[in-house]
Amino acid sequence: MAGSEVTRTTLTSRPSSDGFWMPPEWAPQEAVWMLWPYRPDNWREAARPAQEAYAAVAEAIMGATPVIMGVPAEFMAQAERRLPAGINLVSMASDDAWIRDSGPSIVVDTHGERRGVSWIFNAYGGLKGGLYSPWDRDAQVSSLVCDHHHFARYAAPLVMEGGSIHSDGEGTLLVTEEVLLNPDRNPALTKQQIGDFLEDYLNIDKIIWLPSGVFADETSGHVDNICCFSRPAEVILTWTEDATDPQAARSQAALAVLECEVDAKGRSFKVHKVQQPGPLTISNEEAVTTMSGPGMNRRAGTRLAGSYVNFLITNGRLILPMLDRATDEQALSMMRDIFPKHEVIGVPAREILLGGGNIHCITQQVPAGAFLSSTHGGDGH
């Protein structure tokens, strides 16, 4: 990083007052960021299988959008050997490889200017409930990404991760109470205060508060693993018909909210239910090749928070995690029906899931500067 060559601008105003808002993920994108996985207490076999999975995801993205990979300097040679040619490798320190959560949320205005919103990152719960410590390098990822693009930056006074929000680009935001009201993040703030900050820093008008996320999600229930927008007033929801599965009550509670709510423009929601994979658990072989750590449970038999909702949309292409032979084809078919103008590509992603997340979690899009709209959106389909 050429941090010494860049004048970092941290703004004291807020996006809502400056005319900036968070666009939808189907808006045109300039690039997609990823971070190189390496830590042995999260990734098995010293992260080699995860690195292969990350490389496959990056290759799938590259067919539609340039990929930028942040790589710690000591792993640069390794990344150069294992990644496909054409990826822009940037020297960048990190504690783990979840740039959706540690990276900035990019906001835009009608003139095509882009700025970054940096959330306070505490590794999903700090010293009490977090997954790892220290996290100081991850806490700097957002500002380093903004520096790379010469984006001015807003420093939001909210402990949060990018995977805990999903925008329709027209003023509506999806979140879960399980994450945003978690006492390990913002114990001194009320629900109203948290909502006010989200409205100010993302310039949204309506927040849909789903009760919880996917069962056994170690992020405390990020919304990007249970429910996301496919276009304005239309969402995809993780689902199971098995009433004995602990996910069933969570999905039903989310559906109950969505059926009673309207979006910022007063529209009722159309809900697509996508069958969850599995249930999936960590195998004995996968467990024994992962180093033990204080915050992450990688023991054999542990439930994995698998979900097909955790996909990436990028410039007419949808990258979908392949997780279970019994349900993968059904998920592919469903996504192709929902996104008829997109090329839907399935990428084997169990190795990413073993680390606690999936394709949406390991990517962060940079909207194209040419994206202009005074109405916050357009469905892009």
CA 173 – CA 15 distance, rounded (Å): 15
Burial class (CB in 10 A: 0-12, 13-18, 19+), 13: exposed
- How far is 36 from 342, CA to CA, in rounded Å? 27
Are 205 and 241 a contacting pair, CB within 8 Å? no
CB neighbour list of residue 68: distance below 8 Å, 6 or more residues apart? 31, 32, 33, 34, 87, 88, 90, 148
| Encoded tokens for 280 | 């999936």
| Rounded Cα–Cα distance for residues 309 and 25 (Å) | 13
Angle of CA points 370, 143, 62, to nearest 5° = 50
CA–CA dist 116, 8 (Å, integer): 11
- Residue 141 CB contacts under 8 Å (≥ 6 apart), including other chains: 35, 70, 92, 94, 99, 102, 103, 121
Cα atoms in the 13 Å half-sphere on the side-chain side of 95: 19
For residue 295, the SS3 value is coil
Q: How many CA atoms lie within 13 A of 380 on its CB side?
A: 28
Catalytic positions = 361
Whether the Cβ atoms of residue 28 and residue 357 lie closer than 8 Å to each other: no
